[in-house]
Chain A
Amino acid sequence: MLALSYALPSIIVFVASAALILTGAVGVITLKNPVHAALSLIMTLFGVAVAFIAQQADFLAAVQIIVYAGAIVVLFLFVIMFLGVDRREGVEVQPLVGQKTLALFGVVVTISGVVFMMARSHWVTGIPSLSGSKLANGAHNVNQLGTSVFTTYLFAFEATAALLIIAVVGAVLLARRERSTGEAQ
């Protein structure tokens, strides 16, 4: 009766988000057509957003949908359309012998190691923050996150602003078509 000691809605939400996340993730790595892989990535991102909402991260769930599903995946799709769908990638061909087996082995060892450590030690417990703003006392998530970002993490916030500007300029420079001055275009 272990499962019934948690509220049924939270279990249902967890199962739904896990199903979305895992289906989408498997789709990303197995589908051959990059457009389908990008659509399955959206499914995973929605699942992660559901998991965020279930854990009181409302603002991040909204940002997840807007920035990831709305901007990043659209950027992926835009590049796929721009380049033409590259169907030539043979998923079956392995230039490196035993690549898939080795990758599967490495991933399984890593994940089982992490899960084993989680099961045997007490990672999950810790001292709840005393100084920081409490999530538990019902204050609004956006207020707390905003206060935190604009006070404690102000320097990191400014640095990411600079990073974004640099990234935009770099992307424009990379994607710009080189034109010699002789060409009359």
Chain B
Amino acid sequence: MNVPAAWYLVLAAVLFGIGAYGLLTRRSALIMFMCLELMLNAVNLTFVTFSRTLSDIGGQASVFFVMVVAAAEVTVGLGIVVAIFRRRSTTSVDELSEMKG
């Protein structure tokens, strides 16, 4: 018998927490994108676990779409990072404060 779903769910929760902590504390835009990927992967793991538990393929189809959206998000996000770097020659999000009131 396979290990219970709760093990994988707790693992995904911890992975999500690590990703969220990195997103809140790191200031390089590139590293923040990587932390975003960690969080998305945690959610994907949860989807697949529930898909197995409930014997429903819908969870895996959702993961498929999450992956597509993540790829699009990374493409546009890194395009923005490159555009910002060209103008400001930094990727630190603390430097981007023109809109501060």
Contact = CB atoms under 8 A, between A and B. Distances in A.
A86 B90 contact: yes
A44 to B, nearest CB: 6
A136 B55 contact: yes
A163 to B, nearest CB: 5
A57 B47 CA distance: 11
Contacts of B72: 160, 163-164, 166-167
Nearest to B2: A10
A136 B91 CA distance: 47
A164 B69 CA distance: 8
Nearest to B59: A57
Judged by DSSP, the binding face of B is helix
Interface in A1-50: 5-7, 10-11, 14, 17-18, 21-22, 25-26, 28-29, 34, 37-38, 41, 44-45, 48
Contact of B48 (A51, A72, A127): A51
B78 A76 contact: yes
A129 B91 contact: no
B16 A99 contact: no
16 contacts: A28-B38, A29-B19, A34-B31, A37-B31, A51-B48, A57-B63, A79-B82, A83-B91, A103-B20, A110-B20, A124-B4, A141-B60, A152-B61, A164-B72, A171-B78, A173-B79
A171 B58 CA distance: 30
A174 B10 contact: no
Contacts of A60: 44, 48, 60, 63-64, 67
A19 B11 CA distance: 10
Contact of B30 (A80, A166, A170, A171): A80
Interface string B1-27: 111111111110111111111101111
Contacts of B6: 118-119, 124
A171 B24 CA distance: 25
A171 B76 contact: yes
Given A52-B48, A132-B57, A167-B75, A79 B11 contact: no
A182 interface: no
B55 A135 contact: yes
Given A72-B37, A160-B69, A171-B75, A128 B30 contact: no
Contacts of B78: 75-76, 79, 171
B37 A129 contact: no
A83 B91 CA distance: 9
A148 to B, nearest CB: 5
Contact of A6 (B1, B63, B67): B1
